[in-house]
Amino acid sequence: MVQHNNFQDFKDRSGLWVKSFEYRNNSGDKEVYRTRAYLLWMSILSRTRGKNSRKASYVNTVNSFESFQEFAEWCQDQYGYLNKDEKGRHWQLDKDLLYFGNNAYSPTTCVFIPVRLNSFIPASPGGRIGQFLQGVSWHIHRKKFRAASSENSKILNLGLYDSEIEAHRAWQKHKIQKLEEFMADSTLEPRVINAIFTLKCMFQ
């Protein structure tokens, strides 16, 4: 079986948005096509009802869309829904940026944003995440505090410091600088820019 994802959304003869469909190719092999809206819908369900819902980052996360049909219809009118970045990746569905700390997927709280922005948004603008202040860890060999930022599934080293607060400030400074760069991105819609500005102010 061959599986194809992110197939263009379309409605069936009854006027309902299609989740997926099967097709037999010339070789007789079954190919399964899943629409983009359905892939996102499955991701929401996984985070609110499935195994992923038990992860710390998704505990108490809820799905406030009434049905897949409502969600698919909503997607069609959203800015950035079909946008792709320079690597050909679709923009991602985000529930946290417009309302920081929000735990609900809903028509009023969700927005589509570039992968690089979605992966950059921190869990919180400050405070402790584990033993140290956010963005800080202990470099056991150098006997110093290390500042680092997680971006695009990679760890960006921001230097070593004598105190935990110095390392945390370096992390904050880096976040502010990057947020300012995002604010200058003309491909983002105004409400996303406003949300980034609010987040930036939380770091200062």
pLDDT digits over 157-189, tens only?
Answer: 999 999 999 999 999 999 899 899 999 999 999
In a 3-state reduction of DSSP, which class is residue 109? coil
In tens, the pLDDT along 91-143 reads: 999 998 999 888 999 999 999 999 989 888 766 666 556 688 888 989 888 88
Q: How far from the centroid of its chain's Cα atoms is residue 202's Cα?
A: 19
Single pTM value for the model? 0.84
DSSP 3-state percent helix, strand, coil across the chain (nearest 5) = 35, 25, 40
* Cβ pair 27, 21 in contact under 8 A: no
Number of neighbours of residue 190 by Cβ within 10 angstroms: 8
**Alpha carbon distances (Å) from 117 to 23, 40, 74, 112:** 36, 18, 22, 10
